[in-house]
Amino acid sequence: MGQVVVDDNGFVLYRFDKDSANPPTSNCKDKCAQVWPPVTSTDGNIPQLQGVDQALVGTIQRPDGVTQVTLAGWPLYRYIGDKAPGKWTGQGVGHTWWVISPNGKKNLTCVPTGTPTAVPPPTSDNNNSGSGNNGGSSSGY
């Protein structure tokens, strides 16, 4: 997969093409944020990301008041379809979600054939939906 950025639990982090890096803006809300939870900073401080130039790490304020971590201006996300550390099943979902490289660029080392779709958002009836890697919604969350 090449160089990737992971969270403190080893889960691969992603960026979203419908966001903006200049100015840093998140456009993933509601159901999108349920499938692609933002990487947040609970204390408001800029976190350390291993293997990343700290000068590239920042934060933004989301519309819901949560502080989201950015890399080179790109808001960072996890993917609920990645069931274990090191998995990257969100790569290329909707042709808008990409594993992020330590420099903030899209990691295009391993692009899936076709365009995978996102797992569906969790429901109140079953919080463990989305057991498949590419099943569910065609919206590209």
Domain that holds residue 15: 1-135
pTM: 0.84
Q: Where are the alpha helices (DSSP H) in the chain?
A: 31-35
Return the closest-CA partner of residue 69 out of 7, 18, 140, 3.
7
pLDDT of residue 138: 35
Confidence band, pLDDT 50/70/90 cuts, at residue 127: very low
What domain count does the chain have? Answer: 1
What average pLDDT is seen over the chain? 86
- Backbone Cα Rg of the chain: 14
Tokens of 92: 């290329």
The pLDDT of residue 50:
81
**Does the residue 88 lie in any domain?**
yes
Task: Give Cβ neighbours of residue 47 (< 8 Å, ≥ 6 apart).
Answer: 41, 57, 69
Residue 72 falls inside a structural domain: yes
pLDDT exceeds 90 at position 3: no
pLDDT tens digits for range 58-85: 999 998 889 999 999 999 999 999 999 9
Asked if residue 141 is part of any domain, the answer here is: no
Residue 131 has pLDDT above 60, yes or no: no
| Residue 119 falls inside a structural domain | yes
Would 140 be classed as within a structural domain? no
